Amino acid sequence: MWNLLPVRCLLCSRWTAQGLCEPCLRDQAPGLQAPHRPRCPGCGMRLAAGVQRCVDCERDPPAHGDVTVAVDYAHPWDRLLQRYKFGNKPEWAPALALLLARALGPPAPPLRVVPVPLSPERLALRGYNQAWEVARHLARGLQLPARADVLQRSVDLPGQAEQNRQARLQRLHGVFQVHSRRRPWVMGQTVALVDDVLTTGATAGEASRALKAAGAREVLVWAVARTPPPDEGPS
């Protein structure tokens, strides 16, 4: 179901059928499907070989189920994702959806796809929700049902990037709700929550709690990129 027309690779401008060429995927997305560089299923952080789960997730298990991340939010993906989000580039979404699909591997069990929402004010300013653009292309490719109007976000919080996880959690509390008319769509379902970048995981955690409060059986988190720990260089 992927619509593959030749386009320029987003990283190197070579012609490719999928928006990101194979040499760039091999060189810039190491570990995309390689079992020797696994990520923590709780938070998407890369793990040392042989480790099942990071210490933070071991101690404080997240509200959601497994996290799938394609790449680290580091060179060259950080600049690419910033331009995608802030540079009015919704047409890059199909390539990013394919990148995420690669990380997901074989088709997932029956599930429903929703994006992390923007507030109505932020959506009006930006013109598109970058998470929904990825989510809807991914859902079309995987032939899964998807909706943008399930989760609602009452406010966008300024300056989130500078806050630590605890501060973000407190400020995010109660920010997400499931639209009352969409509760039947969520009830008893496994829901995949899609975002472009996973930073502290606080947003995914709060959005997951809202989906579960509305009756979702399980919430998986799918993100194109994960912010690496501050002490770690680019992958």
Q: By CB under 5 A, name the binding residues for Zn ion.
A: 9, 11-12, 14, 21, 24, 40, 42-43, 54, 57
Mark out the alpha helices in 36-109 (DSSP H runs): 55-59, 77-86, 93-104
Min. distance of Cβ 58 from Zn ion in angstroms? 8
CB 213 within 8 Å of CB 182: no
Q: Which is nearer to Zn ion, 9 or 95 (CB)?
A: 9
Q: Which is nearer to Zn ion, 11 or 113 (CB)?
A: 11
Min. distance of Cβ 227 from Zn ion in angstroms? 13
Q: Which is nearer to Zn ion, 46 or 153 (CB)?
A: 46
CB proximity list for 123: less than 8 A, separation 6 or greater = 117, 129
Min. distance of Cβ 9 from Zn ion in angstroms? 3
Q: Which is nearer to Zn ion, 6 or 158 (CB)?
A: 6
User: Which letter does DSSP use for residue 189 in this model?
Assistant: -
Pick the closest to residue 195 from 208, 179, 177, 209 (CA basis). Answer: 208
Q: Which is nearer to Zn ion, 14 or 79 (CB)?
A: 14
**What does the block give as tokens for 52?**
């099942």
Judged by DSSP in three states, 205 sits in: helix
**What does the block give as tokens for 108?**
């997932």
Min. distance of Cβ 10 from Zn ion in angstroms? 7
Q: Which is nearer to Zn ion, 158 or 230 (CB)?
A: 230
The alpha carbon of residue 4 and the mean position of all alpha carbons in its chain are separated, in whole angstroms, by 22
Neighbours of 66 (CB within 10 A): 15
Pick the closest to residue 10 from 85, 100, 77, 69 (CA basis). Answer: 77
Find the Cα–Cα–Cα–Cα dihedral 19, 25, 28, 29, rounded to 10°: 110
Min. distance of Cβ 25 from Zn ion in angstroms? 8
Min. distance of Cβ 26 from Zn ion in angstroms? 10
Helix axes 93-104, 77-86, angle to 10 degrees: 130
Min. distance of Cβ 193 from Zn ion in angstroms? 16
Q: Which is nearer to Zn ion, 21 or 97 (CB)?
A: 21
Calpha distance 190→168 (Å, rounded): 26
